[in-house]
Structure 1
């Protein structure tokens, strides 16, 4: 009986560990993964458009360490895309660097002013020296998400 109980307990713990690996978390509007394009293809999909409503899948490169109020997702050629959340209405966990996410919302080409770039660098935990080196606005691909799926 004791061996049987131990076996059942071990099987339960093993099943729980596998279930956690497959778990996902939803933030903001609940969305599905269906129809998401790889983040590496987003710039080509934009094709000169100012904005594009779409769904994108990519890998998280960094996250705001103050609140989880933004994240950067890898795109192509070592570039990243800043993802913010519609109306500051939700946040993501701060420990998701390296995880795959699906975001749904609006992609746009933006110019971020120096003051805002410095604020983001501060949120990311950069040193004062690194922050001081930010002297030019940045034109880049950005994304305002209505919903996010974090794959575990």
Structure 2
């Protein structure tokens, strides 16, 4: 009788602790204890956004680890973030090969450290409108985007939320 009760109890515990399997995207979004997304990295030779702007000014691209403040992020999937630059413009940060995403809520104003590649790019009207839609901008704000623009971009291999 004790064996039967033990077996039934064990079965109940096992069944109650099972959840449906997570998708790859859900696993990729799950932070570690230190809020690391993507590849973990050491915070060595850390650049401010001002130092990054200076470093990329006369180069094609720069490998760097950077610290900054998030001012906006994708509210659909968490597939990009805008980081405030020293001149009050934004730098779009995307994630290498869409290999990971960030949580989509409560990122504005958070400090972030990320590592990867920075470069200047011309952003098409279509891409600007796509990002504006992801950010929840109004139809009027999206329609007002009519010209390509050059901006500093960053493709991150890893991100740490502070």
What is the TM-score when the length of structure 1 is the normalising length? 0.82
CA deviations on 1:19-49 (whole Å, 9 max, x unpaired) are xxxx740000011222211112211111311
More strand by share: 1
Provide the rounded CA distance (Å) in 1 between the counterparts of 2:65 and 2:149: 24
Per-residue deviation, residues 39-68 of structure 1 (Å, max 9, x unmatched): 122111113111111111000010000011
- Distance in 1 separating the partners of 2:75 and 2:141: 16
Cα contact 1:65–1:125 (8 A) shared by 2: yes
Tell me the SS of whatever aligns to 1:136.
coil
Bigger Cα Rg: 2
Q: Secondary structure at the match of 2:136?
A: coil
Please say if residues 111 and 140 of structure 1, whose CA atoms lie closer than 8 Å, have aligned partners that are also in contact.
yes
RCO comparison, higher one (Cα < 8 Å, 6+): 1
1:125 equivalenced with 2:124 (yes/no): no
Confirm whether residue 56 of structure 1 aligns to residue 104 of structure 2: no
Aligned match of 2:83: 73
Provide the residue aligned with 2:26 in structure 1. none
Matched, 1:45 2:55: yes
- Residues in 2 aligned to 1:115 and 1:103: alpha-carbon distance in whole angstroms: 26
- Residue in structure 2 matched with residue 28 of structure 1 by the alignment: 38
* RMSD, matched Cα: 1.0
Where does the alignment leave 5 or more consecutive residues of structure 2 unmatched?
A: 1-32
**Matched-pair contact (CA < 8 Å) for 1:60–1:73:** yes
TM-score w.r.t. length of structure 2? 0.77
Task: Determine which of 154, 157, 161 is the counterpart of 1:143.
Answer: 154
CA distance in structure 2 between the aligned counterparts of 1:47 and 1:118, rounded to whole angstroms: 26
- How far does residue 124 in structure 1 lie from its aligned partner after superposition? 0.1
Q: Distance in 2 between matches of 1:44 and 1:97?
A: 25
**Segments ≥4 residues shifted beyond 4 Å:** none
Structure 1 unaligned regions, length at least 5: 1-22
Name the residue aligned to 1:134.
Answer: 145
